[in-house]
Amino acid sequence: VSVAAHGRWVVVLNQGSNTVGSLVLTGHALVPSSRAAVELSSAAATPVQIGFTPSGAHVIVTEKVSSSIDTFNVSSDGRLTGLRHTVSTGTAPYGFGFSAGGQAIVSDAGGGAGGVSAATSYRVGAAGELHPISEVGESQAAACWLVVNGAGTRAYLANAGSGTVSSYNIGPGGRLTLRSDVAATVGVHPIDEVLGGGWFFVLTTTEIASAPLSSSGDLGVVNESAASGLPAAATGLAIV
């Protein structure tokens, strides 16, 4: 359900088996690792996203139904070790990104009801332990995917239940403040989002909505049908 890369190492999150597989980038080829898949914690339920910390020293997995987050240390040869299981501060952690200081910024779906979604920030310790910094709510429903701008100072949450995007300022030390409860209205059920080239894109069922990013990081006028006619099975966006 989720893939992440850092340098040569690629990790793959397998939701059906609650495991993390690994691949290796060799030249222009992607080859399977000789290592067996690593199991998530026994308490993990419905993992949704995997990612490396900016330094590549740790891998993080959010687990929606168990409201928990697993972390691994990454060894110099790409092995995942030192599994830690942390009960999340918010309910139903989902998407995440990282601040300029390397703090993890996580969306909390809150069970999908309106008014209970939030964003939470954590400091990632040297051994992969998570230290909560702040949790800030918003009034929208079912916050899911989250992206952080390149400067690491602004987070954007796609709210699947509201068809909206909320934005947060990321301050020193990873402390969050809500900038806009409804930074944009993008249409029915946003599925994924991505930033690139001064634009913000959101996949919504069979369409892609787009909005320009201002110099301050705010979202401009939304075109809810910047691209249409996508396959109903489309589930992700990427800019290459």
Alpha carbon 210 to its chain's center = 19
Mean pLDDT (the chain) is: 95
Q: What is the pLDDT of residues 98-156, one digit of tens each?
A: 999 999 999 999 977 778 899 999 999 999 999 999 999 999 999 999 999 999 999 99
What pLDDT shows up at residue 206?
A: 86
Position 132 scores a pLDDT of: 98
- In sequence order, the β-bridge partners of residue 5 are 10
Is the confidence at residue 89, as pLDDT, over 80? yes
Tokens of 132: 């909560």
% of the chain beyond a pLDDT of 70: 100
pTM confidence score: 0.96
pLDDT at 111: 78
Task: Give the three-class secondary structure for 1.
Answer: coil
Question: What CA–CA distance (Å, rounded) separates 61 from 9?
Answer: 16
| Residue 41's pLDDT band (cuts 50, 70, 90) | very high
Average pLDDT for residues 59-72, to the nearest whole number?
A: 98
What three-state secondary structure class fits 174?
Answer: helix
> In this predicted structure, what is the pLDDT of residue 27?
84
Res 9: pLDDT: 97
Per the DSSP assignment, residues forming a β-bridge with 122 are 104, 132
Percent of the chain with pLDDT over 90: 90
Determine how β-strand 104-108 pairs with β-strand 93-98: antiparallel
- Across residues 63-88, what is the average pLDDT? 97
Q: Which of 47, 63, 62, 51 is nearest to 9 (CA)?
A: 51
Q: Hey, is 96 helix, strand or coil?
A: strand
